[in-house]
Amino acid sequence: MNVLITILGVLLLLPSAAGVIFGAYMAFDPKTRGAGMLFGLWWVSAVAAAFGILIRDPATFVMGLLCFAVAGLALFLEERLPQKPAVRRGVPSADSEKTTRENKVRERSEDVS
């Protein structure tokens, strides 16, 4: 029975550790940084649950499982929320150029007075 529990713990630990590593990999890409960090943190609690099985500690297993469920819910809700639009940089709009010209003209008129 102890061997089966150890095998189960290892079988849960391997994909959990892979999830943490994949989340860290995603976090290095600027496009997926937020999702990667959340994904990696989600799997950290699964690693804790797997260690709870390996060391045969029911409290560690239950807390890791509970944290995994809460983090999974947070990940699910975060994906469903609308994303804020990306800011365009480097391409000034016509209104921006007009405002800049108006400000320069205003500054010149104030300097003359």
Token look-up 């999702």 returns 35
Kindly state the average pLDDT of the residues 47-60.
88
Predicted confidence band at 77 (pLDDT cuts at 50, 70, 90)? Answer: confident
State the pTM of this model. Answer: 0.61
Q: Are 93 and 48 in contact (CB under 8 A)?
A: no
Burial grade of 98 (CB within 10 A; 0-12, 13-18, 19 or more): exposed
pLDDT at 112 over 70: no
Q: DSSP secondary structure string, 89-104?
A: -S---HHHHHHHHHHH
Residues 26/40, Cβ–Cβ less than 8 Å: yes
